[in-house]
Amino acid sequence: MRRICCSIIIFLALALVAARSETFKLNNNESITGEVLISSANDSGVQIKVGDGKYERVPWGNFSQEDLKKFKENKKLEPLVEPYIEITQEEKIQRTEVPRKAPPRLELPPKQSLLGALAGSLPGVFVLLVLWAGSIYAGYEVHLFRGHPLPLVCGVSAVLPIIGPIIFLSLPTKVKSLDAEEEAAGAGDYAPAGTVAAAAAAAASADVNPMLDEKVAHPSGLHLAHQAEEKSSIPKPTTFQRGQFTFNRRFFETKFPGFFGTIKREADRDMVLVIKSPRGQHVGQRITRIASNDLHIEERQGAATHEVQIHFQEIQEIILKHKDT
C-alpha cells in the first residue's frame, strides 16, 4: 500500500509539473519547454525552469510574437514585453487614427428684415431712436435753410425719417413776403384808392432783396453808402519771411527776375527790395551779383549808389514794395 501511495503521489506531482510547464518557440526555430518563473522577470528577460535544479534565462527578444502576446496577458509581464511586440499596419492605423468630431457651431438667428433685427434688441432700439431724433433735427436745419414752415418740415421728418428732410431740401427756397395786396383788398371798403395802390407797390417790392435795390431801405435802418473809391495805382507790399521761404539763389532768380538787369521792365521800374538782416535794413534798387551763398545789391544813399554784400543765412525778411510806399 505504501508503494502504491508513493506511486500515486509521484504521478500526481509529475502531472502537475507537466501541466505547469509550457513549450515556447524561439526566433531561431528552436523550442524550450519549462515553467516560467514570473518572479525572475526583468527588462532583459525571464528564467524558465527546464528541469530539477536547471534554469535557463531567455531574453524577451528571443521569444516568438505569439508567446510575447501570451505573456502580455499577465499584468506583471505586460510592461516588460510590450516594447518587443511588433505592431501591424492595421494596429498602427487604429492607434494613430484621429477621431473626426464635428466642431460646435453657433445657431444662426432667424432671417428677418433690418428694422426687425434692430427692434429686437435694446441697442438696436437705441440706434433707431437716435436716427429718428437726428431726422427731426435735420428737418429743423432744412427749415432754417429753405424757409418752409417748421411744423410741416419737422412733422414730415418724424413720419418719414431721412426721406422727409431730403424732400424739403430738394424743394426751392421759400421767400417770405408781405401779402399787402390781400390786406389792401380786405380794407378796400373803407381805404382810399391811394392807400390800395401804395400797398400793392409795397407788396411788389417785398420780394426784392433790399441789398440789391438802391431805392429800398434796409430793414434795420442802415443805408449802404455808394461812394466811388479811388483805386490806388501803387501795389501792396509783398513780404517773404524766413521759415516760410528758403532764401537761396534759386529763390531770387525765380521771385525777382526783373531786378537782375541794368534796365528794369515797366512793371518793376519803381519797385525796390527791402532786405532785413541782423546788420540792418537794406533797400536795394537791383541785384548786381549773386552766388551760391550770397548776393550783392545796389543801394542808394543820397545821390550816390554802392554795393552791399548780404549772405543768405543773414536774411530774415524780404519786402517787395513800391519806392513811394
CB 65, CB 86: distance < 8 Å: yes
d(C-alpha 320, C-alpha 272), whole Å:
6
pLDDT band, residue 8 (cuts 50/70/90): low
Question: Domain 2-87, CATH 2.30.30 — does that match?
Answer: yes
CB 297, CB 288: distance < 8 Å: yes
Around Cβ 295, how many Cβ atoms within 10 Å? 22
> What grid cell was written down for 181?
395786396
d(C-alpha 25, C-alpha 167), whole Å:
101
**Locus of grid cell 528758403:** 246
d(C-alpha 65, C-alpha 302), whole Å:
126
d(C-alpha 311, C-alpha 80), whole Å:
97
d(C-alpha 97, C-alpha 91), whole Å:
10
Region for 78 from its dihedrals, namely left if φ exceeds 0, alpha if ψ lies in -120 to 50, beta otherwise: alpha
**Locus of grid cell 425719417:** 161
d(C-alpha 172, C-alpha 233), whole Å:
44
Mean pLDDT, the chain, whole residue set: 77
Give the mean model confidence (pLDDT) for residues 139-165. Answer: 90
* Tens digits of residue pLDDT in 160-174: 988 989 998 898 887
d(C-alpha 270, C-alpha 268), whole Å:
6
HSE toward the beta carbon, residue 142, CA cutoff 13 A: 26
Strand partners, 25: 31
Give the mean model confidence (pLDDT) for residues 28-44. Answer: 82
Locate the domains of the chain by residue range. 2-87, 129-174, 177-205, 238-322
* Tens digits of residue pLDDT in 54-84: 888 888 888 888 888 888 888 888 888 888 8
Q: Do domains 2-87 and 238-322 have the same CATH topology?
A: yes
**pLDDT confidence of residue 248:** 93
d(C-alpha 120, C-alpha 77), whole Å:
67
d(C-alpha 27, C-alpha 62), whole Å:
5
Q: Quick one: which of 152, 132, 130, 133 has its CA closest to 142?
A: 152
**How distant, in Å, are the alpha carbons of 136, 199, 201, 302 from that of 189?**
45, 14, 19, 87
**pLDDT confidence of residue 318:** 93
d(C-alpha 47, C-alpha 209), whole Å:
125
CATH topology of domain 238-322: SH3 type barrels. (2.30.30)
